Structure 1
């Protein structure tokens, strides 16, 4: 290759590299990126020459831009301690309806799936064989009653003759024994008659308990025995819900329920599968006597009157057990609470001469329930914490509060509690709980 071509290629390369650098710097200036960001010292010298201000050539640091956030004010409130669990509705009693006598089923008097009352006629067995048996026993009883009466008359006659010394005493004693024999026979006949009437009464199959009856398992016209099930009744007034709680959450609960003289009933709410609608209110009735070692949980049972029939056997239920209340707790929305390697913390708003910024404030959490968290240490009433826009924050980051109506004004008195102005996402915990518990039932 000639010397001229080498010089030409060198000049072309220089022009190409220079043009690329120029285009890149123009792109940085247009998008607000600091051209000398890679050299902090150079950037500092340029700022110093410009009187401490960024000139147009150097741009603005994106880290100096305030991050828009929503804040909430720490308030005092009573926070209920709620244990959430998954449960299953079960009947308070399950009864399989069967016949108590053998015979032909001639009538099924219930509608499948309906609510039945205790004593209601469910089915009927052909009563004719039992009526015949009753009549036969009653006839035998009448005969034996007549024999008894006749033996009693003979006994009285024998006693009269004995007083006249006309017959032997042995004959009188024999007649007295015969009277007692007939008395026993009549008494047995009376029991046989009652048993026959009872068997006849069993031809009417009635509901032993109130509840919802299931599908019939035998049709009319079949000969059935005492082992043939006719249907199953689930007692649902009241209905029970069985659920489990981890063993580390029930120590205090067990102590409260087993305290001598304690009659406190813990409130329990049943919510639907989506956890959006409250179905029923009830109370805790019993706690199992041992922990399941495979899951580390303990079974509990709650009772619900279920007057509106909103709970159904084997229905999946979200359970909320109210065990206690934390009085006068410092409350924040649960979405303002963050978790790090050193524990829980929040981004607390502080002010200086340059504006608002945030600091990482460690906190001690007493309990979280629903949408709120009760803080026992680290925050005071009227402190402001970030509730939205947290993902862009770090220690000492500048912020711009987007909901100033919920923040404090400089005119406000120190320590004044802002109960009339609730921040975004927070409200009074009592109001928050009320909205959740007063959902349409």
Structure 2
């Protein structure tokens, strides 16, 4: 009996030890220290960005319409030229001589017409008195009609000669900035093929962008009405142009190869700060701008292409799926999934799961880590 009693006590001790270990394993994990930030409703204006290029709304290449040699250049390269201002002169001598000859031909043709008119008037008077044959009158009438047509031909030739003479002096078709001359004094020019120079109107100008066909409806709506802050232009040096733009035109159709369409936004350019051909970024106000929920970007976690945050509810962390808007500095817009005033966990969420217990405060220092303000090992 004594041996049996001792065995029973040992068995009870082992069972008691096993129960104690199981109770320790089932103890709830400690609360995780976290930091939180409030989801705030703040005014948010953010812009979509498109690569753009400054284009002059009116640009023309100057080419001669008559052949000849350049005899005069009347402008300074790079200057603003006024509409109608003479720019180039092609040797005018033969065109002037042709015009003067055409003028003389008109005078001669009108003199012949006047003589033919007098002849027919005299023959008609004689015909009334049967003093001339009908055939003579008919011939005088034909001569008169021929003389009248010759006047018309001479006048047309005079107009053509006058036009050629005017083409010998090339003038500015509108007010704008002229570029570097492609020809010099004495250069020979060929009608329609020799490029003399290029003029571009400087104000207003347009910024041209290319947008995907899926965005066309958005720009059509902006064309019907947009605010003064809808379009801004960022220069290549990073500065933002001081004036805002307005949507000017959308191209007639979509490019079959790229599936895109060109859009032009007009900007005033009185200061001549924007130059034809400059590159930059056109900023278009996003339609989701306004009062939006913002939280620190560091509170976001990503899982399989979806985005989540942990929301602190009393002493529990609840995982919440959210939809993101644009990032603004260290914050990010939340378009769906959060309400104003909710607290999102910004630090310590790496150790959390849905419905984990939390406590506010910084995470505890790791075991063996040096105390703050003291170097390690001391």
Class of the TM-score when normalised by the shorter of the 2 chains: 0.7 to 0.9
1:17-166 counterparts in 2 under 5 A?
A: 71-75=37-41, 77=43, 79=44, 82-166=47-131
Distance between the aligned counterparts of 2:152 and 2:319, measured in 1? 93
Equivalent residue, structure 1, for 2:163: 198
Describe the shift of the 1:279–1:397 C-alpha distance in structure 2 as closer, same or farther (beyond 3 A): farther
Gaps of 5+ in 2: 1-19, 363-378
| Contact 1:102 1:224 survives alignment (8 Å) | yes
Larger deviation, residues 374-383 vs 159-168: 374-383
1:258-337 counterparts in 2 under 5 A?
A: 263-265=224-226, 267-273=230-236, 275-278=238-241, 280-284=243-247, 285-287=249-251, 289-290=253-254, 297-322=260-285, 324-325=287-288, 328-332=291-295, 334=297, 336-337=299-300
Compare relative contact order (CA 8 Å, sep 6+) and give the higher one, 1 or 2: 2
Alpha-carbon deviations, 1:37-75, whole Å to 9, x = none? xxxx99x99xx9xxxxxxxxxxxxxx98956x6835421
1:242 aligns with 2:203: no
Q: The residue matched to 2:341 in structure 1 has which SS?
A: coil
Distance between the aligned counterparts of 1:194 and 1:255, measured in 2? 48
Alpha-carbon deviations, 1:102-149, whole Å to 9, x = none? 222111122222333332221112222222112112122212221211
Equivalent residue, structure 1, for 2:334: 375
1:421-436 counterparts in 2 under 5 A?
A: none
Q: The residue matched to 2:120 in structure 1 has which SS?
A: helix
Pick aligned residue for 2:195 from 214, 229, 249:
229
| Contact 1:280 1:310 survives alignment (8 Å) | no
Q: The residue matched to 2:287 in structure 1 has which SS?
A: strand
- What is the CA RMSD across the aligned residues, in angstroms? 3.6
Distance between the aligned counterparts of 2:336 and 2:308, measured in 1? 11
Pick aligned residue for 2:320 from 361, 371, 380:
361
Distance between the aligned counterparts of 2:231 and 2:274, measured in 1? 14
Distance between the aligned counterparts of 1:299 and 1:121, measured in 2? 35
Pick aligned residue for 1:213 from 173, 178, 196:
178
Residue-pair matches, total: 330
Equivalent residue, structure 2, for 1:418: none
Describe the shift of the 1:255–1:281 C-alpha distance in structure 2 as closer, same or farther (beyond 3 A): closer
Q: CA deviation at 1:184?
A: 1.2
Q: The residue matched to 2:57 in structure 1 has which SS?
A: strand
1:384 aligns with 2:343: yes
Larger deviation, residues 115-124 vs 262-271: 262-271
Equivalent residue, structure 1, for 2:375: none
Q: CA deviation at 1:342?
A: 6.4
1:169 aligns with 2:134: yes
Larger deviation, residues 188-197 vs 370-379: 370-379
Distance between the aligned counterparts of 1:106 and 1:301, measured in 2? 40
Describe the shift of the 1:83–1:397 C-alpha distance in structure 2 as closer, same or farther (beyond 3 A): same
Alpha-carbon deviations, 1:266-293, whole Å to 9, x = none? 7322112354424542223205622565
Equivalent residue, structure 2, for 1:421: none
1:344 aligns with 2:307: yes
Distance between the aligned counterparts of 1:179 and 1:104, measured in 2? 43
Distance between the aligned counterparts of 1:292 and 1:335, measured in 2? 42
Q: The residue matched to 1:97 in structure 2 has which SS?
A: strand
Q: The residue matched to 1:130 in structure 2 has which SS?
A: helix
| Contact 1:345 1:360 survives alignment (8 Å) | yes
TM-score of the aligned structures, taking structure 1 as reference length? 0.64
Q: CA deviation at 1:88?
A: 2.1
Distance between the aligned counterparts of 1:390 and 1:319, measured in 2? 40
